[in-house]
Amino acid sequence: MIGKNHQGVLVTLAKRKSRYILEGQLPAKHAQGVLVKINSLLRPHKHKCYAVTFDKRRELAGHEIIAQELEADIYFDFAPPNHSWEKGLNENSNGLLQRYFPKMRLTGVTEEQVQWAVDNLNH
């Protein structure tokens, strides 16, 4: 989820079966920062993570680094561009998070605020 005027980013990961959401905040949408954030979100769950579906976006081009750093065999699948229905849970999760963070600059959002919103959605 990208903030107003591209100021701030929320990285969303959603588990398909349990619908459990992981979320992290970043100041900008740069490949290195996004990959580091995804690694930090998945690290506690690395033994339960077998497949990840991404968009075909530049910031996710280094996806194999995630598997290397997590020391896990992860299958990466890429949804074709403009096929949002192939990642419906993630799109729905972003919509639910927009209730907590309507179109605004996300640079002022704290990790605590993000975690509070995610906790509300997960429970």
Q: Which domain holds residue 66?
A: 4-112
Would 94 be classed as within a structural domain? yes
Would 52 be classed as within a structural domain? yes
CATH no. for residue 103? Answer: 3.30.420.10
Would 123 be classed as within a structural domain? no
Mean pLDDT over the full length of the chain: 82
Would 122 be classed as within a structural domain? no
Q: Give the span between the Cα atoms of 42 and 102, in whole angstroms.
A: 26
SS3 call for 18: coil
Helix or strand run (H / E) with residue 37 = helix 31-42
pTM over 0.85: no
**Closest listed residue to residue 87, CA positions, set 57, 114, 46:** 57
Would 22 be classed as within a structural domain? yes
Percent of the chain with pLDDT over 70: 95
What are the tokens at 110? 């704290």
Would 121 be classed as within a structural domain? no
- Count of the separate structural domains present in the chain: 1
Select, from the ranges 1-5, 42-46, 81-85, the one with the highest average predicted confidence (pLDDT): 42-46
Tens of pLDDT along 46-82? 888 777 777 777 777 777 888 788 887 777 777 777 7
